[in-house]
Structure 1
Amino acid sequence: MALLIGCAALLALLVHTLANARLLRRPPIIGSAGGVASAPPRQVAVLLPLRDEATRVEPCLRALLELPPAVRVLVLDDGSTDGTAELVRRVAGDRVTLLTGRPLPAGWLGKPHACQQLADAAGDAEVLVFLDADVVLAPDAVERATVLLRRSGVDLLSPYPRIEAVGPGERLVQPLLQWSWLTFLPLRAMERSARPSLAAAGGQFLVVRRDAYERAGGHAAVRDRVLEDIELARAVKRSGGRIGLADGSALARCRMYASWRELSDGYAKSLWASFGSPLGAVAVLAMLLALYVVLPAAVLFGQWAGLLAYALGVAGRAVSARATGGRAFPDALAHPVSVLLFAWLVARSYARRGRTTWKGRPTWRP
């Protein structure tokens, strides 16, 4: 009976994933027959914080050079020691405004402080586009994202880039980002609801109206938060704004980590903050492991409904990949392994909380 109940839950989650995939906002086509008339974005600033990114930021910078001239690009070098600022000057020259970050004040984490400095320097820009160094934009990405921001009626839009996963560890773990919110988060309800707890966002590529950003308190409101992107989305909600997610796979690509060590360290610094409390993490992981690992494993003991559970989990993973520009097969076939690996990463993150650093800075302020 428990196995059948679990399969029913997996079927419901698959139906929810299919509905979300259909409802997921996508950027309009600009300047083509049947598309939106092209209009160069005005008063838009792209803001790129950098700290020791000399080995990975060049593709991002070269893509920024292809944006329309009306888009302002501001880059902040946040105390780099690896020649990042020199690389920006060599690659981008006068096309971008290069700022030197101020020393980190007490009570702040590094990225919120860098983002706040960039926002303050953006002048009269009406739309702020926050970007990470590993994101490569399409030439029309800012224009299309800005149009989608306006048409959707939200104040903060997170167009998730197409995640590039190369190594086995990346292919197992990285697609879980999109899979998690497509499977468990009701997208339209999230847009309509004023509850800050019902929020998701990705800081790799974040588009926000300047007035909503300031009303929410900007990054100063999330100065000590390791997941500053989600916390900023919650701050926008608390101040009366609306947030939305979109498929940004046609606008940007992103390889977040270049090795398994980078990936595991990256998740260690922040994954613990995704659950609210250790008890919440235990509850979530117990549910994920029961549905996506234990139920499929029942087939090993002659319970053929376990094969149905496995197929439903794989189908949900494949649907989310198709909806967000990812690789569906054969990667989705290893979904139980992905969930097991994710559980290990969460446990490791909690074990290392308070003892991890990122680029020479602490990642947690008690």
Structure 2
Amino acid sequence: AFPRVSLLVPARDEGTTIASSLGAALDGDYPDLQVVAINDRSSDQTGSIIDVLAADESRLLPVHIAELPDGWLGKLNALQQGLEVASGEWVLFADADTMLAPQALRQAVAYAQRERLDLLTVYPELTSRSFFAGAVFALAPVLAQLSMPMWQVSDPSRKAYAGMGAFILVRRSFLDASPGLDWLRLDVADDMALGLLVKSNGGRIGILNGLDRVRIEFYATYRDMVSKMQKNWWAIMARFSVFRGLALCWLMLWLALGPGIGLLPLWGGLNTAAMLLGIAGWTALTAASVAFGRWTGRPLVTLVFPQLGALLCTHMLLRACWIGRRIGGIEWRGVRYSSEELRPMQRVRV
């Protein structure tokens, strides 16, 4: 028999996506499902949509949050509130725009039980109507592999961990025995931090490709992506440091320009060495991108986009550093958090 699963969906101002996302989950073939939809201080119709759906669906439990307590990021507080009313043996954390195929949850739970996992995350199929957002998508996962190789995640002897916000299935008994969500309450990389929580407490982690099973729209426009990812670039990549941010910008320019970096008037008599270094970086990026693209089902796209993605990521990181320095932190879900408050609470290091 399949164990009971509680799906936790935190939503703030997700009126355009929440109905279809919850509907996809409820229309699935999983036999024992509880869906906890958490309306996190929304100013649009998100809360009323959840209530209307819950009136006709006994498996859907609405939770409404009016205020954010001190010392918590909004999304993590929403997950904690949902966790307190969840009754499943397994808990599935998912974003409000995650679209699950009918068989996705059944297959994921079966795999997690068969492999005796404590956490299973699924890399989603990412779609975007924006050409430039797609270019960033072609690069960002590849950059992540430099510090957190995906093939090491399932190896208990390795420190690598993973967590994709679209789909993180966790064994409830393990979560209750661990420090829990309080341990990562101010970590901007909340999905990765869940993976770290499980791995660092002796748990087993698995990762699957969600092609045709778990789907999200990456970002509708490049402008939307730049705005919403400012917090990620400043907190996760730059670690609240302009110096580190600029160093990463230089790395991405090296990856983007490839052999052309040796043509820049910066090297004196070392232009040939710089050009060879650029060729090495360009080749490594292309090879890694093609390999990752084949795994995610997008091989042709990755041949063209990585270098453009590196230039766009450089732009986003520079902008994030400028804004982060100017406002002294990040803004997320309508709340401003200072770098001083967040810095000591960042568990994830990439």
Tell me whether the two structures share a fold, i.e. TM-score over 0.5: yes
- Alignment-derived partner of residue 105 in structure 1: 69
TM-score computed with the length of structure 1 as normaliser: 0.79
Question: Is 1:358–2:311 an aligned residue pair?
Answer: no
Q: CA deviation at 1:101?
A: 2.3
Does residue 51 in structure 1 map to residue 25 in structure 2? no
2:206 alignment partner in structure 1: 244
Sort the Cα spacing of 1:138 and 1:297 in 2 relative to 1 into closer, same or farther, 3 A.
same
Q: Distance in 2 between matches of 1:305 and 1:355?
A: 35
1:160 shift after superposition: 1.0
Cα deviation, residue 88, structure 1: 2.0
- Do 1:317 and 1:335's aligned partners in 2 also have CA atoms closer than 8 Å? yes
SS in structure 2 of the partner of residue 174 of structure 1: helix
Question: What is the letter of the counterpart of residue 296 of structure 2?
Answer: T
Deviation at 1:312, TM superposition (A): 5.1
Partner of residue 268, structure 2? none
Q: Is the 8 A contact 2:94 2:167 kept in 1?
A: yes
Does 2:124 correspond to 1:146? no
Q: Distance in 2 between matches of 1:105 and 1:77?
A: 15
Partners of 2:60 and 2:219 lie apart in 1 by 25
Q: Deviations over 1:36-72 (max 9, x none)?
A: xxx6x32111111111110222221220121234111
Task: Find the aligned partners of 1:119 and 1:176 in 2 and give their Cα distance.
Answer: 34
The equivalent residue for 1:329 is 300
Q: Which letter does structure 2 place at the counterpart of 1:133?
A: A
User: How far did 1:306 drift?
Assistant: 6.6
Counterpart in the other structure of 1:24: none
1:168 alignment partner, one of 120, 127, 131: 131
Tell me, in whole angstroms, the C-alpha distance in 2 between the residues paired with 1:311 and 1:299: 17
Query: Counterpart of 1:112 in 2: which secondary structure?
Result: helix
Decide which moves more: 275-284 or 65-74: 275-284
Distance 2:98 2:217 in 1: 7
Which is worse superposed, 298-307 or 107-116? 298-307
Q: Per-residue deviation at 1:257? A: 2.0
2:249/2:318 contact within 8 Å kept: no
> Taking structure 1 as reference, are residues 293 and 213 closer, same or farther at Cα in structure 2, changes over 3 Å only?
farther
SS of match in other structure, 2:229:
helix
Q: For 1:242-263, what per-residue CA distance to the aligned partner results, in whole angstroms no more than 9, with x for missing partners? A: 3232212232110132222220
Query: For residue 257 of structure 2, what is the aligned residue in structure 1?
Result: 293
Q: Would the alpha carbon gap of residues 220 and 181 (structure 1) be closer, same or farther in structure 2, given more than 3 Å must change?
A: same
Using the alignment, how far apart are the partners of 1:308 and 1:195 within structure 2? Answer: 27
Unaligned runs of 5+ in 1: 1-38
CA pair 311-226 structure 1, distance change in 2 beyond 3 A: closer
Higher RCO by CA contacts (8 Å cutoff, separation 6 or greater): 1
Equivalent position of 2:226 in the other structure: 264
| Contact 2:162/2:192 (8 A) holds in 1 | yes
The letter for the 2-side match of 1:217 is P
- Equivalent pairs: percent with the same residue? 28
Report the secondary structure of 1:253's partner residue: strand
- Per-residue deviation at 1:221? 1.1
- Gapped regions of structure 2 (runs ≥ 5): 265-270, 343-350
TM-superposed CA distance for 1:195, in Å, is: 6.6
Calculate the TM-score normalised by the size of structure 2. 0.82
C-alpha spacing 1:194/1:313, structure 2 compared with 1 (3 Å): closer
Q: Decide which of 56, 79, 101 is 1:115's aligned counterpart.
A: 79
C-alpha change, 1:313 and 1:177, in structure 2 (3 Å) is closer
The Cα offsets for residues 101-129 of structure 1, whole Å up to 9 and x where unpaired, read as 25211111101100011111112x11110
